[in-house]
Every structure is written in structure tokens, then in C-alpha cells.
């Protein structure tokens, strides 16, 4: 392809990206007419003017130096974010856990995406005290939204009877469904943390202990749910993607590490000030060189970033990863 055709193709992609980004922003009146199920292509936040600036920078600033392949990946990501996403919560079973000083019920929660196959489900376990803590935390920020929500109270006796357990299974299922139906709650960090943080803490603990295979197993399991919960904020999953890169790299799986690294970079193309951006670029350059891939374009991005930023001490990708979710 000659230079003129290449430039034309890039301009067409830029225009397409601009149209998608513009069409994905809904007005308040449109939002009121939508059902309570999540329409993830809504990208309006608390500060509309700030959003407009971000959209402008995404379509005019960093994208102007992106390659055709990167623009195509950005376009695909934008289209995916405009799909309707709705999650369903099921609590099919429980188990009673007994320690020498405590006894409690663990509720198995299956989270499904509507219209998906079983491969898209996530399975977690939470106990009554986890739900109780979530409700208490949410009340601090969303007391008005939750004023009519009844949380199942703990009984002094009978908490382990089949009748009480079954009642709570249904109550917690309805509770999660109701929380997810409220836009601001389902997007809140407190709600997302309830569904993902315990697993991420365990995974990062394994990573810090050098148990990369176990850490990778947990991270790959949780990343799908995390992506669905934070679909309006692609950069939110970058730390998890980078942790997966670190695990694959230390397990000497450079091809898999590079694959997940590309996913992380695609989410940072308009967030070059992100703390993971430079360490990720450095790691990707090393992986690309090892795999015989083009590393010069990555090197150019790194040099361009260094020219724009003041020289400061930057952690390696692994150093950043082991600092996540430190209790």
C-alpha cells in the first residue's frame, strides 16, 4: 500500500472511531427511557465537560499517531462497549464451614451474562458477613437509593437451619439483582470490589509468593467478570491484565504474555499517563524482541513518552504487580 492510501485508510478509521465515540454518548432524556438493565455504551459521567475533553483527546490527540492496526483494535473495543450487557445472579447452593472457633454459611453465587454460554459465567462464594459489610458500605454513599431495600437480619438462633439458609439464598439473590439494577451502585467501586476483590487478593498473594500457576488460574477466572463489571472503564482491568502478563512471563510463556500485554496496551492508548503504561511498554519491547516481533514501533512509543514526561523513578511491571492488593 502506498503512503497516500495508508494515510487515507487511517483518516477513514479515525472518522469511524469518532462517529462511534460520539454515538455512544447518550443524553439524560435517552437514559431515562432505557430499561434498568445496563446499557454499557453510556459513557456520560458526573462531569460532562470533562467527558467531552476526554472524547476529544481520544479522537484527535493520541489516535493521530496510532497505527492502522491499533485504530482497528480501538474501533472493535468501542463497538463491543456499545453492546447491551446484563448480568444475572443465581445462588444455587450453600455449604457450612466449621472451624474450631467459628461456623458460618458460604453462599455459592453464579454470575451469568444474558444470552451467553456457560463459558461466560463466573462463580464466587460469599458469607453472610460479606453481604452485611457490602450493605453497610453502600449505605454510606447510597442511603437514599437503598432506603426501601430490606437486608436480611441475622438471627440469634437457627442461622444454620435449612429453612433460614434457603430464605437467605432467595433474599441475597434478589438483593444482588436489585443492586445491579441501580446504575450508580453497579458501577460503584464498593459493589465491584464485593464481587472481585477477595479473588484478586488471593491471586496477588499467590503472585507475591511465586505461585504463578495458581495466581494465573485465579486471574484468568476473574478477568472476565471484572471486564463485564467495568465495561465503561476499560483501563480499570489493566492491573489484572498486567498481572497475567507477569505470570505468563515468569512461567516462560512469552507468546501468552505478549497476547495479554497487547490487550492491556489497547486499553491505555488514550491513558498514556497511567502508571502501568511505561512499565508495560518496556515489558512488551522485551517480549517482542524475544518472539521476533516488531519491537521498533513499541520502542518509538516509549521514547515519545519519555520526551513528554519528566524523568522519574518508574517501577518495573512486576514491581507494580506485587504491590497491588497488599492488605
Q: How far apart are CA 324 and CA 226, in angstroms?
A: 15
Closest CA to 185 of 240, 124, 135: 135
Residue where a domain stops, chosen among 187, 222, 254: 187
Same domain, 130 and 201: no
Within-domain flag for 36: no
Q: What is the dihedral of CA 309, 302, 16, 39, to 10 degrees?
A: -70
Cβ atoms of residues 247 and 322 within 8 Å: no
Same domain, 226 and 280: yes
What's 234's domain CATH number?
1.25.40.10
Within-domain flag for 29: no
- pLDDT for 311 equals 60
- pLDDT for 71 equals 64
Within-domain flag for 122: yes
Same domain, 94 and 156: yes
Same domain, 103 and 159: yes
Give the model confidence (pLDDT) of 206-247 as tens digits.
999 999 999 999 999 999 999 999 988 999 999 999 999 999
Same domain, 169 and 251: no
Within-domain flag for 214: yes
Q: How far apart are CA 227 and CA 234, in angstroms?
A: 7
Same domain, 295 and 255: yes
Within-domain flag for 168: yes
Same domain, 210 and 253: yes
Residue where a domain stops, chosen among 145, 166, 187: 187
In terms of residue numbers, what domain contains 242?
196-326
Within-domain flag for 90: yes
In angstroms, how far is CA 321 from the centroid of its own chain?
A: 15
Same domain, 104 and 166: yes
Cα-flanking dihedrals φ and ψ of residue 88, to 5°?
A: -115, 145
Same domain, 119 and 239: no
In this prediction, the residues of the chain whose per-residue pLDDT falls under 50 are: 2-3, 5-10, 13-14, 16-64, 82
Question: What's the whole-model pTM score?
Answer: 0.73
Within-domain flag for 7: no
Residue 256 falls in which region: left (phi positive, over 0), alpha (psi -120 to 50) or beta: alpha
Same domain, 214 and 307: yes
What's 93's domain CATH number?
3.30.1520.10
What single DSSP character describes residue 63? G
Structural domain count, the chain: 2
Within-domain flag for 35: no
Q: How far apart are CA 128 and CA 242, in angstroms?
A: 32
Cβ atoms within 10 Å, residue 3? 7
Residue where a domain stops, chosen among 120, 153, 187: 187
Q: How far apart are CA 28 and CA 90, in angstroms?
A: 31
H-only helix segments in the chain: 3-23, 28-32, 48-60, 68-81, 128-142, 162-181, 183-186, 189-208, 212-229, 238-250, 254-266, 277-291, 296-308, 317-322
- pLDDT for 63 equals 47
Same domain, 205 and 320: yes
Give the model confidence (pLDDT) of 163-217 as tens digits.
999 999 999 999 999 999 999 999 999 999 999 999 999 999 999 999 999 999 9
- pLDDT for 48 equals 44
3-state secondary structure of 106: strand
Same domain, 274 and 234: yes
Amino acid at each position: 500500500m502506498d503512503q497516500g492510501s495508508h494515510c487515507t485508510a487511517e483518516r477513514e478509521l479515525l472518522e469511524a472511531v469518532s462517529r462511534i465515540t460520539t454515538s455512544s454518548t447518550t443524553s439524560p432524556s435517552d437514559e431515562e427511557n432505557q430499561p434498568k438493565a445496563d446499557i454499557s455504551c453510556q459513557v456520560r459521567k458526573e462531569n460532562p465537560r470533562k467527558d467531552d475533553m476526554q472524547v476529544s483527546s481520544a479522537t484527535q490527540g493520541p489516535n493521530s499517531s496510532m497505527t492502522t492496526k491499533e485504530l482497528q483494535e480501538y474501533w472493535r473495543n468501542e463497538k463491543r462497549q456499545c453492546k447491551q450487557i446484563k448480568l444475572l445472579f443465581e445462588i444455587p447452593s450453600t455449604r457450612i464451614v466449621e472451624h474450631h472457633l467459628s461456623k458460618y454459611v458460604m453462599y455459592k453465587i453464579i454470575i451469568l451474562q444474558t444470552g451467553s454460554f456457560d463459558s461466560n459465567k463466573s462463580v464466587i462464594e460469599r458469607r453472610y458477613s460479606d453481604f452485611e459489610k457490602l450493605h453497610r458500605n453502600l449505605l454510606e454513599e447510597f442511603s437514599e437509593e437503598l432506603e426501601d431495600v430490606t437486608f436480611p437480619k441475622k438471627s440469634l438462633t437457627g442461622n444454620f437451619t435449612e429453612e433460614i439458609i434457603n430464605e437467605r439464598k432467595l433474599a441475597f439473590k434478589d438483593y444482588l439483582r436489585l443492586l445491579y439494577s441501580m446504575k450508580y451502585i453497579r458501577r460503584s467501586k464498593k459493589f465491584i470490589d464485593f464481587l472481585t476483590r477477595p479473588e484478586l487478593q488471593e491471586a496477588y498473594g499467590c503472585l507475591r509468593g511465586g505461585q504463578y500457576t495458581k495466581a494465573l488460574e485465579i486471574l484468568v477466572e476473574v478477568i472476565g467478570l471484572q471486564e463485564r463489571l467495568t465495561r465503561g472503564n476499560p483501563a480499570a482491568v489493566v492491573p489484572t491484565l498486567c498481572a497475567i502478563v507477569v505470570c505468563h512471563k515468569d512461567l516462560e510463556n512469552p507468546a501468552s504474555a505478549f497476547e495479554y500485554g497487547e490487550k492491556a496496551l489497547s486499553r491505555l492508548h488514550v491513558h498514556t499517563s497511567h502508571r502501568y503504561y511505561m512499565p508495560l511498554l518496556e515489558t512488551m519491547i522485551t517480549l517482542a524482541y524475544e518472539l521476533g516481533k516488531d519491537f521498533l514501533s513499541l520502542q518509538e512509543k516509549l521514547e515519545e513518552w519519555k520526551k513528554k514526561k519528566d524523568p522519574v523513578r518508574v517501577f518495573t511491571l512486576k514491581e507494580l504487580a506485587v504491590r497491588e492488593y497488599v492488605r
